[in-house]
Structure 1
Amino acid sequence: MSLRARFALAFALVSVVVAGLVGVLSYHAAAERITQANDTTLAAATTALGENQTGILASTPPPPGGDGPQDSDRGDRDSPGRFQLLVGRRLAADGAVTVLGGRAVPLPVTDTARGLAADTAAGRTDTTEIVVGHDDYRILTTALGEGRGALQVAMDVDLSHRVLRGMANEIALVSGIVLVVAAGAGWLLAGRITRRLVRLTGLAEQISARGGVSGPGADTLQVPVEGSDEVGRLSASFTTMVERLAGAREAQDRLVQDAAHELRTPLTSLRTNTSVLRRFDELAPEARERLLADVAGETRELSHLVDELVALALSGQSEEPEEAVELGLLARQAADRVGRRSGREIVVDADAVVVRGYRASLERGIGNLLENAAKFDGEGGEPIEVRVREGTTTVRDHGPGIASTDADRVFDRFYRADAARGLPGSGLGLAIVRDVAERHGGAAFVTTPSGGGASVGFGVAAERVVPRTGSGRVPPDPTTVGGSATT
Structure 2
Amino acid sequence: MSLRSRFTLSFTVAGVLVAAFVGVLNYRAASEHVVAQANRTLWLVTTAMAHEQSTHQALSDADTRGQALAPAPDRLGTVGEAEQAIVQVVARDGTVTHLGGPDVALPVSDSVRALAASGVPGQGEETTEIVVDGDVYCQRIVALGRDRGALQAAIPIGPTRDGLNSMAKQIAGGALAVVLAAAIAGWLLARCITRRLVRLAAAAEEVSGDCHVAWEVSVDGRDEVGRLAASFNRMIGRLAAAREAQERLVQDAAHELRTPLTSLSTNAGVLRRVGELSPHARERLLDDVEGETRELSHLVDELVELALSRDRDEAEESVELASVAHRAARRVYRRAGRLVHIDADDSVVHGRRHGLERAVGNLLGNAAKFDSDAAEPITVHIRKGTITVSDRGPGIAAADAARVFDRFYRADTARGLPGSGLGLAIVRDVAETHGGTVFAGTRPGGGAAVGFTVSSSRLLPGGAPDSAEPLDERL
Q: Give the structure-2-normalised TM-score.
A: 0.89
Percent identity between matched residues is 56
Q: How does 1:293-332 map to 2 (within 5 A)?
A: 293-332=287-326
- Aligned match of 1:454: 448
**What's the offset of the Cα at 1:114?**
5.1
| Structure 1 residues 275 and 114: CA distance shift in structure 2, 3 A | farther
Residues 411 and 145 from structure 1, CA distance in 2 versus in 1: closer, same or farther, beyond 3 angstroms?
Answer: farther
Give the secondary-structure state (helix, strand or coil) at the position aligned to 2:126.
Answer: strand
Aligned positions of 1:228-247 closer than 5 A: 228-247=222-241
**Conserved 8 A contact 2:8-2:190:** yes
Residue 404 of structure 1: aligned partner: 398
CA distance in 2, matches of 1:371, 1:173: 86
Matched with 2:20 is: 20
Paired AA for residue 175 in structure 1: A
SS in 2 for 1:437: helix
Q: Does 1:441 align with 2:440?
A: no
Q: Which residue of 2 aligns with 1:478?
A: 472
Give runs of aligned pairs for residues 128-139 of structure 1, distance below 5 A.
128-139=128-139
Report what 1:2 is aligned to.
2
Q: Which amino acid aligns with 1:388?
A: I
Q: Deviations over 1:69-91 (max 9, x none)?
A: xxxxxxxxxxxxxxx62112334
2:180 paired with 1:180: yes
1:119 to partner: Cα distance: 4.1
SS in structure 1 of the partner of residue 127 of structure 2: strand
Q: Structure 2: how far apart are the matches of 1:119 and 1:16?
A: 52
Shift of 1:417: 0.5
2:280 is aligned, of 250, 270, 286, to 286
1:277 corresponds to which of 260, 271, 279: 271
Q: 1:345 to 1:89 in 2, by over 3 A?
A: same
The range that moved more, 160-169 or 300-309, is 160-169
- Select 1:58's aligned residue among 50, 71, 80: 80
Query: Is the 1:15–1:178 contact (alpha carbons within 8 Å) kept by the matching residues of 2?
Result: yes
Tell me which amino acid in the other structure corresponds to 1:311: E
The alpha-carbon deviation at position 402 of structure 1 amounts to 0.9
Confirm whether residue 261 of structure 1 aligns to residue 255 of structure 2: yes
Q: Which moved more, 1:8-17 or 1:146-155?
A: 146-155
Aligned with 1:352: secondary structure?
A: coil
Q: Contact 1:224–1:235 (CA<8 Å) still a contact in 2?
A: yes
TM-superposed CA distance for 1:473, in Å, is 5.5
- Cα contact 1:327–1:355 (8 A) shared by 2: yes
Q: How far, CA to CA, are the matches of 1:300 and 1:280 in structure 2? A: 21
Query: 1:412: Cα distance to partner?
Result: 0.4
* Change in CA separation of 1:445 and 1:144 when aligned onto 2, cut-off 3 Å: farther
Which residue of 315, 340, 343 corresponds with 1:346?
A: 340
Query: Does the CA-based 8 Å contact 2:345-2:464 persist in structure 1?
Result: no
SS of corresponding position for 1:58: helix
State yes or no: 1:170 paired with 2:170: yes
Please identify, of 249-258 and 359-368, the stretch whose mean Cα deviation from structure 2 is larger. Answer: 359-368
Does the 8 Å contact 2:121/2:144 carry over to 1?
yes
Task: Quote the Cα distance in structure 2 between the aligned partners of 1:313 and 1:443.
Answer: 19
For 1:58, give the aligned amino acid: G
The RMSD of aligned alpha carbons is: 2.3
Please list every run of 5 or more consecutive structure 1 residues that lacks an aligned counterpart in the other structure: 61-83, 482-487
Deviations 1:183-208, CA, capped at 9 Å, x for gaps: 22322222222122112212222222
Q: Who is 2:66 aligned against?
A: none
Distance 1:294 1:146 in 2: 141
Q: What does 1:354-369 align with in structure 2 at a 5 Å threshold? A: 354-369=348-363
Q: Render the CA deviation track for 1:206-229: whole Å, top value 9, x for unaligned.
A: 22222x134xxx3xx221112212
Q: How does 1:181-220 map to 2 (within 5 A)?
A: 181-210=181-210, 212-214=211-213, 218=214
Helix, strand or coil: the match of 2:154? strand
- In structure 2, what is the equivalent of residue 87 of structure 1? 86
Following superposition, the deviation at residue 259 of structure 1 comes to 0.3
Deviation at 1:115, TM superposition (A): 5.7
Task: Give the CA deviation at 1:30.
Answer: 1.6
Aligned to 1:426: 420
Runs of at least 5 residues in structure 2 that lack an aligned partner in the other structure:
53-74
Q: Give the corresponding residue for 1:101.
A: 100
Per mean C-alpha deviation after superposition, the further-off stretch among 413-422 and 14-23 is 14-23
Alpha-carbon contact 2:338-2:374 (below 8 Å) kept: no
SS in 2 for 1:51: helix
Normalization by structure 1: what TM-score? Answer: 0.87
Structure 1 residues 95 and 356, CA, compared in 2 at 3 Å: closer, same or farther? farther
Q: Kindly indicate whether the alpha-carbon contact (under 8 Å) linking 2:362 and 2:427 is maintained by their aligned counterparts in 1.
A: yes
CA distance in 1, matches of 2:335, 2:6: 67
Measure how far apart 1:125 and its partner are: 4.2
Question: Matches of 2:463 and 2:317 in 1, distance apart?
Answer: 18
Distance in 2 between residues matched to 1:136 and 1:458, nearest whole Å: 98
Aligned to 2:246: 252
Deviations 1:247-286 (A, max 9, x none): 1111111111000000000001111111111122222222
The runs of 4+ residues in structure 1 deviating greater than 6 Å are: 469-472
Deviations 1:40-66 (A, max 9, x none): 212111221121142244334xxxxxx
Measured in 1, the distance between the counterparts of 2:473 and 2:114 equals 113
Asked if 2 retains the 8 angstrom alpha-carbon contact of 1:45 and 1:56, the reply is: no
Number of paired residues? 452
- What is the rounded CA distance, in whole Å, between the counterparts of 1:173 and 1:375 in structure 2? 90
Q: Distance in 1 between matches of 2:36 and 2:11?
A: 37
Q: Is the 8 A contact 1:411 1:434 kept in 2?
A: yes
Check whether the contact 2:346–2:464 (CA below 8 A) recurs between aligned residues.
no
Q: CA offsets per residue over residues 278-298 of structure 1, 9 Å max, x none?
A: 122222222222111111111
Q: Report the secondary structure of 2:404's partner residue.
A: coil
Task: Work out whether residues 428 and 452 of structure 2, in 8 Å CA contact, stay in contact via their aligned partners in 1.
Answer: yes
Contact 2:401/2:440 (<8 A) preserved: yes
What secondary structure, in the 3-state scheme, does the structure 2 residue paired with 1:386 have? strand
Hey, what's the Cα distance between the residues in 2 that align with 1:380 and 1:338?
13
- The answer on whether the counterparts of 1:122 and 1:146 sit within 8 Å (CA) in structure 2 is no
Distance 1:414 1:157, change over 3 A: same
String of CA shifts for 1:380-411, please: whole Å, max 9, x gaps: 52211112222222212221211110010011
Distance 1:470 1:417, change over 3 A: closer
Q: Which moved more, 1:153-162 or 1:184-193?
A: 184-193
Instruction: Measure the CA separation in 1 of the matches of 2:352 and 2:179.
Output: 58
